[in-house]
């Protein structure tokens, strides 16, 4: 039934999703050129509100749960599992007061309405995955901006999307690089559920009637812990929230 309904509702979803991107492209440009970064950020927040709730056209529900009073005067590294591209608009919208930035592929900075201009102007890190030196340099620059502006960053330590919802092993490189620049950053795990189901049949038809959930988990103080231990702790907190088997330290894995 979900797939059958998807054939009917997916075109409606894509029309509204695409129109939203096209409408907000010039709005972002005007906000930035006329009023600067703060106005641009407001336009991006509103854009991602609409992108998030376009899911209603697929009869998908949206749930964001945060039981913690997260600081706004301190940089935060939000570390989340990654299931689909639809993870991102909701993270931007629900974490908007933390000015969350992303580490993105440099290829995305051209050719996509609203998305590309935001990546160029929004202050995140746009990396070339084939150029490790450039990638590290951009992440370090992002860390400096976090430090200067009390911004936050969302990273996906899996490095790719889990197309079946099963977590892949978290890599600690991103967290380690940012912590070198912003050692006082708070680490906050975020568990994402069921986003993968939207695209389980591919780009068309999209799946319908899914309960999409974003859950902020207990923050982790980095202290003197090594980045690999922090990353493993983040991964296991998310695994616990999703009801998936715990990961073991590399030395203990079989």
Q: Which domains does the chain have, with CATH numbers?
A: 2-252 (3.40.1130)
163 vs 34: which has the higher pLDDT: 34
43: nearest Cα among 93, 95, 103 = 93
Alpha-carbon distance of 160 to 103, in angstroms, equals 12
pLDDT in tens, 2-38: 788 999 999 999 999 999 999 999 999 999 999 999 9
Residues 6+ away with beta carbon under 8 Å from 125: 101, 102, 103, 104, 138, 139, 141, 142
pLDDT in tens, 189-202: 999 999 999 999 99
Alpha-carbon distance of 195 to 49, in angstroms, equals 16
Check residue 252 and give its pLDDT: 45
- Give the sign of the dihedral formed by CA 98, CA 143, CA 81, CA 110: positive
């Amino acid at each position: 039934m979900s797939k059958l309904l998807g054939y009917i509702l997916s075109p409606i979803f894509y029309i509204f999703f695409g129109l939203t991107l096209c409408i907000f492209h010039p709005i972002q440009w005007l906000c930035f050129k006329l009023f600067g970064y703060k106005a641009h950020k407001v336009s991006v927040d509103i854009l991602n509100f609409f992108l998030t709730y376009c899911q209603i056209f697929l009869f998908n529900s949206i749930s964001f749960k945060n039981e913690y009073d997260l600081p706004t005067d301190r940089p935060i590294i939000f570390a989340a599992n990654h299931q689909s591209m639809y993870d991102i608009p909701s993270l931007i919208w629900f974490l908007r007061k933390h000015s969350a930035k992303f580490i993105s592929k440099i290829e995305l900075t051209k050719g996509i309405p609203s998305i590309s201009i935001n990546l160029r102007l929004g202050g995140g890190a746009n990396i070339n995955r084939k150029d490790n030196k450039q990638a590290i340099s951009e992440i370090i620059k992002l860390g400096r901006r976090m430090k200067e502006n009390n911004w936050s960053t969302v990273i996906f330590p899996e490095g790719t999307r889990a197309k079946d919802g099963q977590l892949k092993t978290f890599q600690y490189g991103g967290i380690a690089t940012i912590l070198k620049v912003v050692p006082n950053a708070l680490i906050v795990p975020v568990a994402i559920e069921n986003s993968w189901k939207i695209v389980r049949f591919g780009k068309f038809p999209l799946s319908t009637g899914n309960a999409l959930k974003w859950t902020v988990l207990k923050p982790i103080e980095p202290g003197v812990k090594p980045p690999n231990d922090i990353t493993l702790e983040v991964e296991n907190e998310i695994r616990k929230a999703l009801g998936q088997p715990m990961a073991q330290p590399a030395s203990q894995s079989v």
